[in-house]
Amino acid sequence: MMDNNHSNPNNSENVNLTKLPNIGKEIKKQLQAVGINTPEDLAAVGSHEAWLKIRAINSSACYNRLCALEGAIRGVRWHDLNEAVKNDLKAFYKDSR
């Protein structure tokens, strides 16, 4: 019999951002530092806003990090984002510098 006390899906501690594609320990730390603690938080904020928040605390936030965040939300490696999405992200990145 399973103990359900530790499997509450609403408990954010059970949801690890690093389970998302493109999110490693460093980006996870940066997301948590800006109040994004779950995949749902990231999806709700969106890649643009999440990237702006990260850039506010870390000036090294680059175009690739923006793509990584978008890919994480979409559940794909950032290299696999289609060209239209990449072009949108590139335009946003250029406008935000």
Delineate the domains of the chain, giving CATH numbers in brackets: 19-96 (1.10.150.20)
Q: Between vectors from CA 51 to CA 48 and to CA 84, what angle results, nearest 5°?
A: 45
Determine the Cα–Cα distance for residues 56 and 80; give it in Å rounded to an integer.
Answer: 27
H-only helix segments in 1-97: 25-33, 39-45, 47-57, 63-74, 83-96
Q: Tell me the per-residue pLDDT of 32-62, one tens digit each, with 9 for 90 and over.
A: 999 999 999 999 999 999 999 999 999 999 9
Question: Could you tell me the pTM of the whole model?
Answer: 0.84
Better pLDDT: 49 or 1: 49
The tens digit of pLDDT for each residue in 8-27 reads 344 445 469 999 999 999 99
pLDDT at 5: 38
* Each residue's pLDDT tens digit, 59-94: 999 999 999 999 999 999 999 999 999 999 999 999
Residue showing tokens 């000036």: 59
